[in-house]
Amino acid sequence: MKILVPVKRAIDYKVTIRVKPDGSGVDTDNVKMSMNPFDEIAVEQAVRLKEAGQASEVVVVSIGSPKAEDTIRTAMAIGADRGMLLTHDTAVEPLAVAKLLVKLVEEEQPGLVILGKQAIDNDANQTGQMLSALLGWGQATSAAELVVDGDSATVTSEIDGGLQKLRLTLPAIVTTELGLNQPRNATLPNVIKAKKKPLDVREASSLGVDLDPRLKVTKVTEPPARKSGIQVNSVEELVAKLRDEAQVL
């Protein structure tokens, strides 16, 4: 079984986000970028399935700037076998990403697509679900556990109020939650090996998908500054402040 893993280059999760002075978006100049953490978990899970003999090949794909090659190389240093980069000058919306992935699924014929449930830059949480709908494949989102058994997969998903266990017939789509695994660090020997692994680079437009944006960002603003906390001397005073000042009771 082949596993396809889409990965995204995003602002590193440790970086403090800054909004551009004109409010047109987030400032990415001279900002550290890295693999989206949810996608890193997806890569780790795919590699573990291969190491367990349940997958024959792990293929990673990224869509966006040519600089995303570094992200793909990182995934290959973790253990992916080869990579594909679909270059595009501007941001690609989730629906367009899903349509591009459909084209790649038709080419690669994977038995499983594993991707992060969301990207930390836009928090859209849409691509996996859209891909499932376009392909007509079963899906399990927010996977906290994934077990592959022959032509099926059992996924434990995190839902509001608890866990849900689903059994999927492969091929299928699985999106990953943070608790699924702990991604390994890419060792120096594997980083060197990753530089020699095959990487197919082509323009995203070559797949015949409409990449024109359907959404327009009108304004981006900083979140309101949080007020400093206060101390109260009794439960009665706390209740009074919550009722009269915060007006949450």
Per-domain boundaries in the chain: 2-244
d(CA 62, CA 47): 17
DSSP-based helix, strand, coil % in the chain, nearest 5: 30, 30, 40
Instruction: Write down the pTM of the prediction.
Output: 0.87
Query: How confident is the model at residue 193, as a pLDDT?
Result: 94
The DSSP result for 65-94, as a single string, is -GGGHHHHHHHHHHT--EEEEEE-SS---H
CATH for 2-244 is 3.40.50.620
What tens digit of pLDDT does each residue of 143-172 get? 999 999 999 999 999 888 889 999 999 999
Query: How confident is the model at residue 249, as a pLDDT?
Result: 79
For every one of its 249 residues, what pLDDT tens digit does the chain have, with 9 covering 90 and above?
999 999 999 999 999 888 998 988 888 888 999 999 999 999 999 999 999 999 999 999 999 999 999 999 999 999 999 999 999 998 899 999 999 999 999 999 999 999 999 999 989 999 999 999 999 999 999 999 999 999 999 999 988 888 999 999 999 999 999 989 999 999 999 999 999 999 999 999 999 999 999 988 899 988 888 888 888 899 999 999 899 888 887
Query: How confident is the model at residue 40, as a pLDDT?
Result: 97
The phi-psi region of residue 186 (left if phi > 0; otherwise alpha if psi is between -120 and 50; otherwise beta) is beta
